[in-house]
């Protein structure tokens, strides 16, 4: 489980707030409304809001990127809230529901990266690499509120 405080980055001569710098947290977090408690989303037109309340990325994709980039990547490197293993994350169909801890989440759409991911990965070329790799992760909406914690099992349910 990864959450973010708002940080300011410098982009093209101006200060830009962002919530992409997610870091691991201990213990349960409440999934409620349009976010996870304690996770700060800045521009809810493109990242956050009801349809993009939670972002998930696969551990298997992390391993692929680490081999591709030749370096280890820390938890939350892609700005995800949930780093999942053994779940088809990037290929999950819209409408598929996941029981995660005490919450019920629904897949809404794959991620479309913005410049902030390039800044976080220290390479603006990374956006093209990320798109070409077809490993976008997925956004989820919160269908049923509940607590979620690192290590919670994920049960993939059929589409609604």
* pLDDT for 46: 76
* pLDDT for 133: 97
Q: What is the mean pLDDT of residues 75-90?
A: 96
Q: What is the number of structural domains in the chain? A: 1
Question: What integer best gives the mean pLDDT of the chain?
Answer: 94
* pLDDT for 160: 58
d(Cα 152, Cα 15) in Å, to the nearest integer? 37
Q: How many residues does the chain have?
A: 160
3-state secondary structure at position 50: helix
- Which alpha helices (DSSP H) does the chain contain, by range? 59-69, 115-120, 126-133
d(Cα 150, Cα 1) in Å, to the nearest integer? 5
pLDDT tens for each residue of 101-148: 999 999 999 999 889 999 999 998 999 999 999 999 999 999 999 999
Its pTM stands at 0.94
- % of the chain at pLDDT higher than 90: 88
Buried b (16+ CB within 10 A) or exposed e, 95-113: ebbbbbbebbbbbbebbeb
The whole domain housing 34 covers: 2-157
CATH of the domain at 29: 2.40.33.20
* pLDDT for 47: 78
Whether the per-residue pLDDT at 36 is higher than 70: the answer is yes
- Non-local CB neighbours of 79 within 8 Å, separated by 6+ positions: 4, 19, 20, 21, 22, 47, 55, 116, 117, 120
More confident residue, 159 or 123: 123
* pLDDT for 77: 96
Whether the per-residue pLDDT at 95 is higher than 70: the answer is yes
């Amino acid at each position: 489980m990864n959450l973010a405080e708002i940080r300011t980055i410098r982009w093209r001569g101006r200060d830009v707030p962002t919530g992409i710098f997610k870091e691991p947290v201990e213990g349960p977090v409440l999934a409620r409304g349009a976010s996870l408690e304690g996770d700060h989303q800045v521009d809810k037109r493109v990242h956050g809001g009801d349809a993009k309340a939670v972002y998930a990325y696969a551990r298997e994709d992390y391993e692929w990127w680490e081999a591709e980039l030749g370096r280890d990547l820390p938890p939350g490197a892609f700005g995800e809230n949930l780093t999942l293993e053994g779940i088809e994350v990037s290929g999950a169909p819209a409408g598929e529901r996941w029981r995660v801890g005490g919450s019920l989440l629904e897949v809404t759409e794959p991620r479309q990266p913005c410049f902030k991911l390039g800044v976080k990965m220290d390479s603006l070329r990374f956006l093209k690499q990320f798109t070409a790799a077809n490993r976008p992760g997925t956004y989820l909406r919160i269908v049923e509120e509940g607590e979620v914690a690192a290590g919670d099992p994920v049960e993939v349910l059929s589409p609604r």
